[in-house]
Structure 1
Amino acid sequence: ENIRLLQTFPRLESFGIQVAIYAMVIWLKLKIVNSCCNCISS
């Protein structure tokens, strides 16, 4: 049971890293879009 848990852990870790990168990219895009909108409105 412990061995199976250890085998799935690296996969979960890499999945978490992918999700973190994906979230960061979306956040950066939103930030850029938001700053562009602010420039247009002002």
Structure 2
Amino acid sequence: MVNRVKAPLSYDKGSFLPFVKSIKALSKKRDKTVAILKLLSYF
């Protein structure tokens, strides 16, 4: 039973990795723009 649960979970993680990486890259870009906007709003 435990093996049945672990196998699909590990498969999902493997298939989601590129998706997660692209999301992280997008969020990093967004964080930079948000930080710049915050700095601009202070001045």
- TM-score band, normalised by shorter chain: 0.5 to 0.7
Q: C-alpha separation between the residues in 2 aligned to 1:26 and 1:2?
A: 34
Displacement of 1:5: 2.8
For 2:25, the equivalent position in structure 1 comes to 17
The alignment yields a C-alpha RMSD, in angstroms, of 1.4
Q: What are the ranges of 5 or more consecutive residues in structure 1 without an aligned counterpart?
A: 36-42
Q: Provide the identity percentage.
A: 6
Cα shift readout 1:1-42 (whole Å, capped 9, x = no counterpart): 65543221000000001111111111000101112xxxxxxx
Work out whether 1:27 is the aligned partner of 2:35. yes
How many residue pairs align between the two structures? 35
Q: C-alpha separation between the residues in 1 aligned to 2:34 and 2:28?
A: 10
